[in-house]
Amino acid sequence: MTNNNLPHYQLLIDGAWVEGTDNQVMRSSNPANGNDWATFACANKDDVDRAVKAARRNLESGPWAAMNATQRGALLYRLADLVEKNAQRLGEVETTDSGKLAAETVSQSSYVASYYRYYAGLADKIEGATLPIDKPDMHVFTTPVPIGVVAAVVPWNAQMFLTASKLGPALAAGCTVVLKASELAPAPLFELGKLIQEAGIPDGVVSIITGDAANCAIPLTSHPDIDRLAFTGGPETAKHVIRNTAENFAVTSLELGGKSPIIVFEDADLESAANGLIAGNFGASGQSCVAGSRAFIQRSVLAELTKKIEEKAKQIVIGDPQSSSTHIGPLCTVAQVECIEATLAKAVEQGATIRFGGQRAPQYGSQNYFQPTMVECPNDQIETLKTEMFGPVMSIVAFDTEEEAIAMANDSIYGLGSGVFTQNIARAHRVSSKIQSGICWVNTYRVTSPIAPFGGINQSGYGREAGVQAVLDYIRTKTTWINTSSEPMSNPFVIR
């Protein structure tokens, strides 16, 4: 049952805010102090089924099915305005729930309004075509139609952004969506649900649920009425998700983990490179799937650059994530901290040296705080270069030649982000083309836009989010043949 002293979030199913069928309730703790701050209802298989059936009904009949693309775009514009207007509230809730910096969650909530506007504008720009068919008396054309009911599974980190990159194109395409929020920090998505209703999006077009794997995630991803699955999370969970889609043949996209390389050449602007490495590793407290946690630095500038990074790291402020002066807040879970500690211990055994950091910082309020850390590695086989830790840990390795740097950058099971710092434009083109990743930033890092697709290769997943391609991925092409001849159709058993 709910605790009357804490805020309580219900599930949004078919336009109604409801408890889960079995009345299961989970608590959410504030990572900054370890205290419970809210409770939320959890869905079971029956709740999932009700949400999916509502989505199917709205896809096939009712106000949503009757809307044209321009009308759907108008609703997305309205949602964008509401998200932007309520960015402060959305960010504060996300920070309380996940520990992410308010400076980042508020600005990100405001910026994702541009994703909804981008897809609002695209809604009525997706066209069919008339085909120059090779048969006489045939008028043949294609029509874009919604792919169907979408299951969108979103993790706790960057959830406003990762939701917008799924929900925006799906609604623009005319799909209906069941959004599954992480059970670790779901509150911001329930707040978003209120804005979805306020925007006038019909009841049941978007349902928002959460819960554990057995009762919620598995029933959703394996539900026979799911046509499209958009998943962001870890590779191990993704393997189960793929197996689940054997039950429904859902078209699937996966945006998974990463151990992104950043290569710094000796001709780079070292001030820019140091800032890029700080942003790529300590931004978002390191809780980013594109974190540039494998830093390959040309040996001739290794000492100078690491000194710059250490000097900048000394200026990093650890503390209350709600404070505008804080640079690094708590990690979302203690399990992340424990993973970092175990990985660092293994790295030291392998010969790595911790240049700074490497310890918890409980004096800031909880066991979730961890110091920004740099690990100097003798080679690229050290454990910190292999394990995604989801925390503020940077590993540096020296290299001598361009070929060596590229080889080390590509020696990974992942392939999401990458970075190159050089003032040689030919080298920038040459190296960025050879790095095996879905995204490559040159002389910058962690920049996003609704116009630019993102996604990975290898165990960082497949499919792309954002950009024009994303809305096309929520559409099926329907082909229509019309016989324009005034003559009867010919006898199929008479071959001419």
Which residues are identified as catalytic?
A: 255
Write the secondary structure of 379-408 as one string of H (helix), E (strand) and C (coil).
CCCCHHHCCCCCCCEEEEEEECCHHHHHHH
Cα 217 from Cα 210, distance rounded (Å): 8
Which residues touch 296 (CB under 8 Å, ≥6 apart)? Answer: 261, 262, 263, 264, 380, 396, 397, 398, 399, 405, 408, 409
Characterize 169-201 residue by residue with b for buried, 16 or more Cβ atoms within 10 angstroms of its Cβ, and e for exposed: bbbbbbbbbbbbbbbbbbbbbbbbbebbbebeb
- Residue whose tokens read 């709910």: 2
CA–CA distance, 11 with 454 (Å, rounded to integer): 30
Q: Which residues contact 359 (CB under 8 A, 6 or more apart)?
A: 370, 371
Sheet of 461-462, strands arranged across: 16-18, 11-13, 206-210, 176-181, 149-153, 228-232, 251-255, 461-462
Give 215's DSSP letter: I
Q: Is 431 strand, coil or helix?
A: helix
- 415: which DSSP letter? -
- Pair 361, 370: CB distance under 8 Å: yes
Among 126, 122, 179, 128, smallest CA distance to 149 is for 179
Distance CA 162, CA 192 (A): 13
For strands 419-421 and 261-264, give the pairing: parallel
d(CA 272, CA 141): 52
Helix 113-122 to helix 69-85 angle, to the nearest 10 degrees? 170
* Phi, psi values for residue 244, rounded to 5°: -65, -35
3 state DSSP class of 113: helix
Contacts of 224 (CB under 8 A, 6+ apart): 247, 248
**Distance, C-alpha 471 to centroid of its chain:** 16
